[in-house]
Each structure stands twice: as structure tokens, then as C-alpha cells.
Structure 1
Amino acid sequence: MSTLAEDGREEVREAGDALRDLGETVVTALPRVAIALVVLALLVGSGRLLRPVVQRRLGRRRTPSFARVMSRLAAAALSVVGGLLAVTIVFPSVQPVDLLSGAGIVSVAAGFAFKDILQNLLAGVLLLFRQPFRGGDQIQVGEVAGTVEEITVRETVIRTFDGRRVLIPNATVYTDVIEVQTAHPTRRIEIAVGVAFGTDLEHAIDVAVAAARPVPGVVAEPAPEALVAELGTSAVGLEVLVWCADTHQVETRRVRSAVTTAVLRAFDAEGIVVPAEIVSIRPSAELQELLGSATGPAARDDGTD
């Protein structure tokens, strides 16, 4: 019994010593914890204060999307640095090199776990630096066409021509074929029109070009032109080529409509015929035989009445 009692008192003394050591460690670490929290708060707060400054300065030279994303990354970088400094202050035995090596391992693991997110982030940063298009440009990526509203760290936001909002992952945008409709100040459109066989083609071309030239929205240089495009079944196909002063989708459609109307009116005034499509249907021998057998009894009945 005395041995058991002695063992119990020994365990109590060890537990008390452990608690005392823990308390001393906590009391000793409290100043470091307080300093670490202050450093972390200062760097996080500095990041929040720095963000609008960076966004405003970058916005003067780059696109709004670029300034917005870069300011967020700068603020996040300051927060990460604050977290690393706070850990080294609380745990002096931890060296910055150890933190960086640990961060490398964590980043590799995060890379596998968040592959798509990091891929879209990297693609978004590359798009912002390369700037193949900007906010307000009209582009087509795959089957999606519309106006670019913004580029975020994850996706490119597009407002389609019929008013829908489409979010395309940046990785898809970066690796796919991009058609930027507003990249250049002018854009060429083609208007197809047909004239009847036997028409004086040189005269028809001159009439079409003269009709297209004064249409609002058509630039003088390069000048409009018309070419013989094809020989159809019922008409000779002409193609009127004009360059639009405004490359936005709705404006090019308006110019197309105006040029088509002007050319048709000019053809009508000059007596140039725009023929309708003629389709000839010739029944096969089997169809003729079937039709003859179907109408034969009816013809006999009509003759006997």
C-alpha cells in the first residue's frame, strides 16, 4: 500500500511540474504572441490599404481588370508574408528557410488538389499581361460570342449579344482560338446578291459599287468593290465587299442591311433583275409509272359514265 501511495504522489508531482512548465512557457510566449499578432495585423492592414493605391496607379496605365487582379495579389502576398513572420516570432526555433521549404511542400500538394483553380489563376494572369483583348472588346471563344465585361482571377466574363452573361474559365480562353472582332479600327463584310443570266456584269458591278459607296458607316478607303463570286442555277452571284468604320457587331449588321437595301434599289432603278431561286423537279420513271397507275382507273371510270 505504501508503494502504491508513493507512486501516486510521484505521478501527481510530475503532473504538477508539467503544468508549471507549461504555464511558464505560456507566460514566456505571451509577449511573442502579442508581437506576432501585431505584425500580422499590420501587414494584413497594409495590404488592405495598399490595394486601392495599387489599383489606382495601375489603372492609369493598364486595363481595369489588370489593376484589380494585381492589387488583390499584392494584398494577398503581404498577408502571406505576415503569416510567415508571425510564425517565426512565436516559434523562434523555426527558421525562415524551414518555413519556405514547408511552404514548397504545401504548394505542391495544393497544386495537385486545386489544379483547375491554379491553372485558371495562372491563365488569368497571363491574359492580363499579354492583353490579347480588353474589357469592352467583342470576342468569340468557341461558340460563345459577345462583349468582354471583365477578367477575374478565375474566369473571363462575357455578355453575349442577346444579353446573357457567360463565365468562361481562363484556362479555356487561353488555350482556345480567340476571335477579337474589335481588334482593328475597320472590318470588312460581304453582301451576296444575284443577277439574272444575260445581265451586263460590268454594269451591274459599277451600279453595286456606286450604291454602296455613300452608305453611312462605309469607309472611303479601302473603297467598296464587287466581284463575280459564283454561277448559280438561276443567277450569277455577285459579292459586294465594303469596310465598316465601326467594328462592333450591331453596327456591322446595320451597315450590311443598309448596303443590301441600297444595292437592291439601285438594281431596280437600272432595270437589273434579281431572279428568284428556280428549282426544277423532274420525276423519275418509277414515279411517273406510279402516278400513271394511280390515275388510270379514274380515267376509265370517267369514260364509262
Structure 2
Amino acid sequence: MDLSNRTTETLITAGIGIAVVIALRVTLDFAYNRYETRLERRDPGAVARRRTTFHFARRIGVALVATIAVWSVLSLYDITSEIAKALLASSAVLALFAGLAFSTPLSNLGSGLLVAFTQPLRLGDRITVDGETGFVEEMALIYTTLVTDDARRVFVPNTQLTTSKIINRTIRDPRRLISAQFPVSIETPIDEAREALLASITTLPGTSGESARVLVGDIVDRTVWLQVATYGPMNADVVSLVSDLRELGLRALREKGFLAA
């Protein structure tokens, strides 16, 4: 086969491979979107679980098809074809695959597959891993991406998700805690101070007023610290809400004359 025919065959094979990869991804996305629409009406709680599994499985499927396409292109050339045959014909290939199976890239792939199906975390969950807290934005074949409250992206190796403790703040209680402390004099009527703070919390937009509570904290130097807590949605801007909560609480206590000197 001359050079021009080899080049033409290579381009055709590569084009077919690219087309198959694109068609596979589009078809899988279309089919899953239809499935998720029906699932959301039937069981909204299962949507996050199914989406996490699907996205990771789709990545593996696309990667396998892309690998086959690249292999098909390389097999058109005598040099790469002979190398492949020699590897497959030798017993060393077994040792090669055994070594790769325990290497870091494939370990990350296997860990990601395990997490995608056992699901200690899901796409969109708010988790803490090794001191880093954020929302799970993406689960790739090697890394899982967290987006922190200050918009940093933390790339966590998938193996770390199976070897480290994961704190999932979404699965049982998909809310964000909004809290602040306020000092009042020890002579302050606690019931009245609590009522004033609760009344101020109900005016704070973006929080759940019915879940608000005021607890008595530490007592230091004739000062009582009142702990105010309420909840916001998972996508809440906690920093801004805590600031607003402090402002409202201080204003309410100052108007009543309850603030500690």
C-alpha cells in the first residue's frame, strides 16, 4: 500500500472513530435526559444518584471507544502493528497488565467506578474531604472536582475518596447552617432576648425562619453568649447571610438594650 492510500485510510478510520465517539456521547445524553425526566416525576430523590452513575459510566464508555479508534488507526502502520503483535504474543503482556492494574491512573479509575456505584457522594453534594469543603462539580476518570465557598476548584484524586473519611453534608439534610453569636448582659431576660432575635431572623431573606433557634452558650464575665442558628438552601451565600444575620441581631438587641457593655 503506497503512502497516499495509507494516509487516506488513516484519515477515514480516524474520521469514523471520531464520529462514533461523538454519536455515542450524543445518543447516551439524549437517552439519559429522557430517562431522567421520567425519573424526576416518579422519584426525585433518585435523580442525583442516577446522574452520578451515568456521568461516570459514560466517561468510561467514551474512553473505551476512543481507545479502540486510536488502536485501529495505529494498527494500519506496520511498526505499531508489529509491536502490538509482539506484546500480545509474549507472556510479558500479563505482567504488564498486572502492573498497570495497580498503578495510580488505573487505581483512580477503579476508585472512581466504586464511588460512582456505591455513592458516598453525588454530583452537586456538599462534602468535606481532608479538610477541603465544597460542592462536587464533576467526577472524572482520575480526579473529582470540588468547588469551595471562595470559588476555588480542588481536584481530589479518586483513590483518596475510597481511602479518606468523607463528610457528606447533603444526603440527610440538604441545607446550609447559618449561625452567629451575640453577647447580652447576665441580667438580661433570656426569654425576651430570644424573642427579639427570633423576630429579627424571620426578616432575613434566603433562610428558613421556622427552623431558627436561639440557644444559651457560654457565660463569661457576666456576659451570656446567645447562639443563633437557622438554615439556608445548599447554594446559599453563607458569608453574606451570616453578615446580615449579625447585623439584624445586633440591631434587635440594641433596640431592646440587651447588648452587653
The question of a shared fold, defined as TM-score above 0.5 by the shorter chain, is answered with: yes
Q: TM-score, normalised by structure 2?
A: 0.68
| 1:69 matches 2:56 | no
Q: Which residue of 1 aligns with 2:190?
A: 201
Q: Is the 8 A contact 1:136 1:148 kept in 2?
A: yes
Q: Which residue of 1 aligns with 2:164?
A: 176
Aligned-pair distance for 1:225?
A: 1.7
| 1:53 matches 2:42 | no
Trace 1:61-210 onto structure 2 (pairs within 5 A).
61=36, 62-63=51-52, 65-66=55-56, 68-75=58-65, 104-112=94-102, 115-183=103-171, 184-210=173-199
Q: Rg bigger for which structure?
A: 1
| 1:236 matches 2:198 | no
Structure 1 residues 74 and 51: CA distance shift in structure 2, 3 A: farther
Measured in 2, the distance between the counterparts of 1:75 and 1:119 equals 20
Structure 1 residues 182 and 220: CA distance shift in structure 2, 3 A: same
Trace 1:17-32 onto structure 2 (pairs within 5 A).
none
1:53 maps to a residue whose letter is: T
User: Out of 218, 221, 234, which is 1:247 matched to?
Assistant: 234
Aligned-pair distance for 1:235?
A: 0.6
2:179 maps to a residue whose letter is: E
1:216 maps to a residue whose letter is: P
2:189 maps to a residue whose letter is: D
Unaligned runs of 5+ in 2: 1-5, 37-50
| 1:217 matches 2:206 | yes
Measured in 1, the distance between the counterparts of 2:19 and 2:109 equals 23
Q: Which residue of 2 aligns with 1:263?
A: 249
Aligned-pair distance for 1:172?
A: 0.9
Measured in 1, the distance between the counterparts of 2:249 and 2:146 equals 35
Aligned-pair distance for 1:147?
A: 3.5
Q: Is the 8 A contact 1:138 1:181 kept in 2?
A: yes
Structure 1 residues 161 and 273: CA distance shift in structure 2, 3 A: closer
- C-alpha root-mean-square deviation of aligned residues, in Å? 3.7
Structure 1 residues 54 and 77: CA distance shift in structure 2, 3 A: farther
Q: Is the 8 A contact 1:157 1:168 kept in 2?
A: yes
Aligned-pair distance for 1:261?
A: 1.3
Question: How many residues are matched?
Answer: 224
Q: Which residue of 2 aligns with 1:282?
A: none
Measured in 1, the distance between the counterparts of 2:215 and 2:179 equals 10
Measured in 2, the distance between the counterparts of 1:208 and 1:254 equals 18
Measured in 2, the distance between the counterparts of 1:159 and 1:255 equals 19
Identity value in percent: 27
Unaligned runs of 5+ in 1: 1-33, 276-305
Q: Is the 8 A contact 1:194 1:237 kept in 2?
A: yes
User: Out of 215, 218, 221, which is 1:227 matched to?
Assistant: 215
Q: TM-score, normalised by structure 1?
A: 0.59
2:210 maps to a residue whose letter is: E
Aligned-pair distance for 1:82?
A: 7.0
Greater share of residues in strand: 2
Corresponding residue SS for 1:199: coil
Measured in 2, the distance between the counterparts of 1:58 and 1:104 equals 37
Corresponding residue SS for 2:210: coil
Structure 1 residues 54 and 122: CA distance shift in structure 2, 3 A: same
Structure 1 residues 50 and 262: CA distance shift in structure 2, 3 A: closer
Measured in 2, the distance between the counterparts of 1:233 and 1:111 equals 62
